[in-house]
Amino acid sequence: MSSVKIFSGSAHPELANAIANNYGKPLGQSEKQTFSDGEMGVYFTESVRGSDVFIIQPTVPPADNVWELLLMIDAARRASAKYVTVVVPYFGYARQDRKDKPRVSIAAKLAANVITSAGADRIMTCDLHAGQIQGFFDIPVDHLDGSAIFYPYLKSLKLDNMIIASPDVGGTARARAYAKLFEVDMVICDKHRKRANEIASMQVIGDVEGKDVVLVDDMVDTAGTISKASTLLKEKGANSVRAIATHGVLSGNAYKNIEESALEELIITDTIPQKQESSKIKVLTVADLFAKAIRKIHDHESISSLFIK
């Protein structure tokens, strides 16, 4: 069987190193060079001929991270790697997955196209903004589920009056899955936006009186939605409100919004490197989950055992 070699881009080397350590081998050696005009180049400083290459790079802004990933894929392919798998813990541009108004691009599909065209044989990611994005790829997609990370933590809290909440109608299916997992009820926070990242109004559908509410989402960007939802849920009589979200984008006034919100805590994972710390933010690692998935893929085993049933 071919050997496994794990490499990291520059977007999140800490996570890549943790994944490699959990897998049981050091990161492979590669170099990134930048010319004076900003042009980028990457190359591997060790042989990858005949190897199963795994390249770890969340596609967080800036766009240079996407371009670096593409260059690494191309370099591995041209260096005669047997198989190239891109490990994208956070798949950026996933929110642009459809034409919701005239004359807009579908960036998620474009990103899928360029990753495939660069020479990737497979992609591994976690909690896509919309599950159907898997169909944008013409290569196999291993779509890991963040519930494997959050379930043990939430169980450890021993919330007797837990109820699951979706911060918007679009996240109902995700929230329902958690409600079924814990065998509890769910409510929905119905919001109306004026424009992106700006909420005009919100209302709660369901009863949260005396409940310990857990808001479930795939990502938190400016934290405006969960902050407003936490305040509204407390006003409706909730005993406590906390939120879980796989991807902590946390841009703009996110940290300030979280600190000033009614949230007990926001639980995220380390798919995205954090800009600062907060007493209300708890970060759980996905390193072991991805390391196990890499091992199973290399051994041609099913990854279904990694999902919470």
List, as residue ranges, the binding site.
Answer: 37-39, 95-96, 129, 168, 193, 217, 221-225
Backbone angles phi, psi at 204, to 5 degrees: -100, 130
148 vs 261: CA distance, rounded Å: 27
**Collapsing DSSP states into helix, strand and coil, what is residue 177?**
helix
Binding residues for Mg(2+): 129, 168
Q: In what order do the strands lie in the sheet with 52-56?
A: 4-8, 52-56, 83-88, 122-126, 141-144
Binding residues for D-ribose 5-phosphate: 193, 217, 221-225
Binding residues for ATP: 37-39, 95-96
Neighbouring CB atoms inside 10 A of 93's CB total: 20
Q: Which two tokens stand for residue 100?
A: 């919701």
Neighbouring CB atoms inside 10 A of 200's CB total: 9
128 within 8 A of 97, measured Cβ to Cβ: no
Active site residue 191: yes
Exactly one of 191, 211, 228, 292 is catalytic; which is it? Answer: 191
Phi-psi region of 206 (alpha: psi -120 to 50; beta: other; left: phi over 0): left
* Residues forming the active site: 191
